[in-house]
Structure 1
Amino acid sequence: MRHLIAAWLAMWCMTAWAAPPELVIATNDYPPYISADPRQSFIGELFERIGKDMGVKFTFRFMPWKRCLVLLDARDVWAVVPFVSTPERQQRYLLSDTLYARRAKFFYYDQPGRSWPGANRDLAELRQFRIGGVAGYWYEELFKAAGIALDLANNDPTNFRKLQAGRFDLAIADENVGNYIIRTEFAREAGRFHSLETPYYRSENVMMVNRDLANAELLARFNRALDNLRRSGAYDDIVSRRKLVLLPVGS
């Protein structure tokens, strides 16, 4: 009997102290949404809560966006995040429910003698301005279709430095990312940065995994845990505490 109890206790200890399964996610440093710095990582906190609900541990590996997709296709990581849902991606991968909905805006820096439109209805109305963006971002083809040549930088902070230096008139950026860059890199001149009243583009960001049965089951559990966070109010608490401007999902 003592041997049976000892065996049971050993099995209980192994179960109780066993580390939860690990799921590796490829991403890029993109504060305030995702960052190696937990203070600037909305997704990091969100996924920690989701992982506890699912009984798994999410581990993030940071790399360039294109490399994220290479590793996903090679099945070297379980998922990539955050990506914008597109018809092509919907066919190729399994997509999670919306993690967050955000908008892009046009930012400008005070320049003597320059005036800016109070509102605009479409992209074509901004052809009179020189516009900066980031190479490889989702909006390149949209600008090309509108006949607008972009001054392209390698990343968002460089794009804003060029804007501040007067290399162009407007910089397109995610609203929260733009506000974060202004607050952290241009603190003394933050009051000279503004944005046009009309938001340019609304998008919903998701997590993507490869198509197979095991992933479909895991993704269903992930979506349930995400929904639980929203229903409990914990999701809104995280957004509010981090002072993010997010849009209602599905609006």
Structure 2
Amino acid sequence: MTFFREIGLAAALLLFAQTHANAHELPPVHAGETLVIVTNDYPPYARANAPQSFLPDLFDAIGREMNVHFEFDFKPWKRGEQDVENLEAWGTLPYRRTEERTRKFNFSDALYIEDSPFFAYNAQGAKPEIRYETLADLHSYRLGGIQGYYYQPWFDEAGLNVEYALSEEQNFRMLHMGRIDLFSTARSVGWHVIRRLFPPEEAEKFYTIEKPLLEGAGLYLMTSKDYPNGDELLEHFNAALAKVKQNGTFESLMNRHGLAVNY
């Protein structure tokens, strides 16, 4: 009897150990699965008409870790959100996380970190200081924005004078023409657009004010809460993202695409 009790105890201990070990393993994904990611033309991070850009390359690396394939679909921002809500795509990017969005969507860990300063322009090349403590302090300025961006509720609440356009390019053209005084976007994106739209002697007349709208904030993959196995997929995604950051792949991709390494 003692012998059989020992065998039973050993089996129970083995089962417990296996169960405990498995609890720390991620649930499996379907090997070779294709996941659709919607974004807009957002250079230098994502380019619709270029063979390579940072975010698609990053997702290729993440996909290899997850054993899935990511397919990028370029559409207007609001259409991308609708595709995620309608389960026609797994996720859309890159998005700032807000309380309103968090109620509707899930968010990955931060893909990368980037400030969003206010850009200004002075035709004489001067850089007059513009200081503010709260957004309401900017009530005397004409701001530019993009409809549906994260800051729209903030600007509305502060009672600011905002003219909304469809793209970064339109806002920087309005800034250059003097139709608006300030426009906020991700730092790398802003300078990329300015240098693409204007000759060097005009690009030098743009500047950023000291206090950014957002400082050290993340940009994220935003996914549907109702996507099949969505929570498990996001868990796998975050683990793979962490791995490519730890093994040097992330930094290598940032350097390849001429971006500042900040994560």
State yes or no: 1:193 paired with 2:206: yes
- Once residues 113 and 211 of structure 1 are traced to their aligned partners in structure 2, the CA distance between those partners, rounded to angstroms, is 48
- Once residues 125 and 253 of structure 2 are traced to their aligned partners in structure 1, the CA distance between those partners, rounded to angstroms, is 41
Post-superposition CA distance 1:83-125 (Å, at most 9, x none): 2222333333332111112221111122349762264433233
Residue identity in the other structure for 2:134? D
Percent of aligned positions with the same letter in both sequences? 37
How many aligned positions are there? 230
Segments of structure 1 that go 5 or more residues without pairing to the other structure are 1-18
Structure 2 CA distance for partners of 1:83 and 1:115, relative to 1, 3 Å: closer
CA contact (8 A) 1:29 1:35 kept: yes
Structure number with larger C-alpha Rg: 2
Post-superposition CA distance 1:33-60 (Å, at most 9, x none): 2222447732111101111111111101
User: For residues 6-25 of structure 1, what are the structure 2 equivalents within 5 Å?
Assistant: 20-25=32-37
- Once residues 174 and 222 of structure 1 are traced to their aligned partners in structure 2, the CA distance between those partners, rounded to angstroms, is 24
CA contact (8 A) 2:251 2:261 kept: no
CA contact (8 A) 1:105 1:199 kept: yes
- Once residues 28 and 113 of structure 1 are traced to their aligned partners in structure 2, the CA distance between those partners, rounded to angstroms, is 32
State yes or no: 1:183 paired with 2:198: no
Task: State the secondary structure of the residue aligned to 1:103.
Answer: coil
- Once residues 124 and 208 of structure 1 are traced to their aligned partners in structure 2, the CA distance between those partners, rounded to angstroms, is 29
CA contact (8 A) 2:125 2:204 kept: no
State yes or no: 1:96 paired with 2:111: no
Give 1:160 deviation, angstroms.
0.4
CA contact (8 A) 1:38 1:45 kept: no
- Once residues 238 and 158 of structure 1 are traced to their aligned partners in structure 2, the CA distance between those partners, rounded to angstroms, is 29
- Once residues 32 and 224 of structure 2 are traced to their aligned partners in structure 1, the CA distance between those partners, rounded to angstroms, is 22
Task: State the secondary structure of the residue aligned to 2:129.
Answer: coil
Task: State the secondary structure of the residue aligned to 1:201.
Answer: coil
With normalisation by structure 1, the TM-score equals 0.82
Which of residues 219, 238, 242 is equivalent to 1:205?
219
With normalisation by structure 2, the TM-score equals 0.78
- Once residues 39 and 175 of structure 1 are traced to their aligned partners in structure 2, the CA distance between those partners, rounded to angstroms, is 23
CA contact (8 A) 1:42 1:242 kept: yes
Structure 2 CA distance for partners of 1:187 and 1:111, relative to 1, 3 Å: closer
Which of residues 99, 113, 119 is equivalent to 1:87?
99
